[in-house]
A and B are shown apart, each in its own frame.
Chain A
Amino acid sequence: MAHVHDVPAAHGLMAEFDNPTALVEAANRARLQGYTQMDAYSPMPIPELDAALGIKKTKLPLIVLTGGILGGLGGYSLEYWSSVIAYPMVIGGRPFHSWPQFIPVTFETTILGAALSAVIGMFVLNQLPQPYHPVFNVPEFARASRDRFFLCIESTDPRYDREATRTFLDGLHPLGVSEVAS
């Protein structure tokens, strides 16, 4: 049976810091210790965390490029189809396929496609909206959006061990370490 182990399933262990430097240092130490399944939480972006946590470069730019190309092709095709095939009208003696005059709309739909894919892509890759996440079970975590910095080592990490990981986190001189209920 799956739930033979009687240990309450925890999401992980979370250490709290009061400044970004300590968080980046903690993340670096945890990575060097061999932890891989972890995440850091901060009230503002800290670019240094990318390297510290080994975050891979996001695929988002590629998604945005694709969205932009599709938007542009879509806009131009719409103009071509409606002005040449569906509803051809002679306006000011111009050809049905007046490509220079199709540029502004093509430009706008390119931007629209790219911008929509940037926003939707970002939220989808981040798996947001997410109504529930275990980290919110820690009362101190409310300050993660104000002035506190958290490092959470997750229980799915192969090196995760309730006692040993707690000892390791305590060694980073955090303000406190809490177990995150899942």
Chain B
Amino acid sequence: MADTLQHSVDERPTPPVIEPGHTFASVTDTISNIVLTRRTSIGWFLGFLIAFILLMVLNLTIGKLLLTGIGIWGNNVPVGWAFDIINFVWWIGIGHAGTLISAILLLFRQQWRTSINRFAEAMTLFAVACAAMFPLLHTGRPWLAIYWLFPYPNTMGLWPQFRSPLIWDVFAVSTYGTVSALFWFVGLVPDLATLRDRADSKVKKMIFGVLSLGWRGSARHWHRYETAYLLLAGLSTPLVLSVHTVVSFDFAVSQVPGWHATIFPPYFVAGAIYSGFAMVMTLAIPMRKAYGLEGFITMRHIHNMTKVMLATGMIVAYGYANEAFFAWYSANPYEEYMMANRMGGPYGTFYWSLIAINAAMIQLFWFRKVRDNVALLFVLSLLVNVGMWLERFVIIVTSLHRDFLPSSWDMFYPTRWDWGMYAGTIGLFMALFFLFIRFLPAISIFEMRTIVPEAKLRTEHHG
């Protein structure tokens, strides 16, 4: 039985990482024409319009917040941390897939990363920008946040508290943002040179010329470039693992039941990669369709991303089981109550919804029929994003709202400003992404050239 099953699976061919028949020229033209010559479609304008409206919602909520203060949010005394940290963790997590694809898969020489790394890295940058906004605005007066967050000599002689995970977070996230931006820009330079050389107008030539720094594709330059790229990948790999580890320390270092758990770092990192891949799918599926990039982002990519989601999703599901087990095994009444309250308390529906998505629904990814159904995968990946948001909501709100002292228990209800800011950052993210696919090559052109058949050197002895 197992044998025949195995056999039937093997008979189906693995889709290629790039559609056959592509050449240096066709790869270059297909990708650069999106930026240079193709007419901007109505769909792009419609999408950007939606994003822009949401972006204006963000402006409005930030304006209101700065004028009134963070009292406009639903945060209260036991739940002092709510949407601001839920959304922060959600966005930061989403960013992690970009680095995983660009760095870790590069080190493992996974060729399929080539056509998705550029826009996944862009996604990382935009997600980090959205994430950083929440803790910054939670300070209420972000213009003062600079001395609360960063160590610099100020007239008050104050220095940040380095024993606090919150300051570790500042360093982790700002380093992550910086390194991701560097990695992304370094990857873009040769492609910007391509755009410079192919641009038809003087203005475009000028802009891309300045941005490409005079790159000319010299062999000596490529040699150092490849070394730098590989080293950056090697540095980003531990960095990305450290970022969500540090984010999980924000919780795990405290003593709140439901937060104080040693499983948090690996569980958070797996959750980050899982949600990040869901976001890459959410972006890749419409993009490849709209721009006819099915030859570059093939079914191979869709399959592999689904498998990564399945694997990391299972680690996350293991994390849920582990949390429940230790709540019981610890024999600590606070831990036990936390778990009972999570499952059967007022937020129980949220808990069971996240289990339904992150533990049960992802089992569909085992089936090739599901992995082949792109439209269904789009819906499922959106659901995974929802599931991971719910996970953060449950971890944060259910742990805080009923802690040690029943007299201080309370409920948390988000206000419209909470929702407005969340929706607003989705608008910012979408707006940046729409601008990115319109004005920069969304797929790394020079790396695509290395995987076309022509790139393979012919040996001197033919046949």
Q: A: which residues have CB within 8 A of B? A: 19-21, 24-25, 27, 39-50, 53, 55, 58, 60-61, 64, 68, 75, 78-79, 82-83, 86-87, 89, 91-92, 94, 98, 101-102, 104-105, 107-109, 111-112, 114-116, 118-119, 121-123, 125-126, 128-133, 135-136, 141-147
Contact = CB atoms under 8 A, between A and B. Distances in A.
B410 interface: no
Interface stretch (B8-16, B127-135, B159-167, B300-308): B159-167
A118 B235 contact: yes
Contact of A61 (B28, B218, B227, B458): B227
B224 A41 contact: no
Given A55-B220, A83-B159, A44 B178 contact: no
B267 interface: no
Query: A41, A78, A118: which has the most chain B beta carbons within 10 Å?
Result: A118
A76 B157 CA distance: 19
A61 B159 contact: no
A42 B157 CA distance: 54
Query: A47, A126, A133: which has the most chain B beta carbons within 10 Å?
Result: A126
Contact of A146 (B28, B159, B213): B28
B132 to A, nearest CB: 15
A78 B151 contact: yes
B218 A39 contact: yes
A68 B239 CA distance: 13
Interface string B426-463: 00000000000000000000110110001101101000
A107 B228 contact: no
Nearest to B162: A79
B163 to A, nearest CB: 5
Contact of A115 (B160, B178, B457): B178
Contacts of B228: 60, 118-119, 121-122
Interface in B143-175: 151, 157-165, 167-168, 171-172, 175
Given A86-B159, A104-B242, A144 B216 contact: yes
A142 B215 CA distance: 12
B239 to A, nearest CB: 5
A117 to B, nearest CB: 9
A55 B219 contact: yes
B291 interface: no
Interface in B23-55: 23-25, 28-29
The secondary structure that dominates the A interface is helix
Query: A24, A49, A128: which has the most chain B beta carbons within 10 Å?
Result: A128
Among all A-B residue pairs, the 6 with the closest Cβ atoms: A147-B24, A122-B228, A129-B213, A82-B159, A130-B214, A104-B168
A58 B249 contact: no
B218 A41 contact: yes
Contacts of B215: 128, 145
Interface stretch (B77-85, B191-199, B417-425): B191-199
Nearest to B215: A128
A114 B233 CA distance: 12
Query: B29, B220, B225: which has the most chain A beta carbons within 10 Å?
Result: B220
Given A87-B157, A126-B221, A119 B232 contact: yes
Nearest to B214: A130
Nearest to A152: B218
B366 interface: no
B186 interface: yes
10 contacts: A44-B447, A78-B151, A87-B157, A98-B163, A108-B246, A115-B179, A115-B235, A118-B228, A146-B28, A147-B24
Contacts of A68: 235
Given A125-B224, A146-B194, 19 more contacts: A42-B222, A43-B194, A48-B457, A75-B171, A104-B249, A108-B246, A111-B175, A111-B235, A114-B231, A115-B178, A119-B182, A126-B224, A132-B214, A133-B216, A143-B197, A145-B193, A146-B28, A146-B29, A147-B24
A82 B236 CA distance: 28
A126 B239 CA distance: 26
Nearest to A131: B214
B182 A115 contact: yes
A33 B236 CA distance: 43
A143 B164 CA distance: 54
B276 interface: no
A108 B175 contact: yes
B142 interface: no
B313 interface: no
Contacts of A92: 163
Given A44-B446, A45-B225, A60-B227, A146 B24 contact: yes
A111 to B, nearest CB: 5
Contacts of A128: 213-215, 221
A47 B161 CA distance: 48
Contact of A87 (B28, B29, B159, B168): B159
A60 B163 CA distance: 34
A146 B27 CA distance: 9
B3 interface: no
Contacts of B25: 146-147
Contacts of B286: none
A115 B232 contact: yes
Interface in B368-417: none
A108 B172 contact: yes
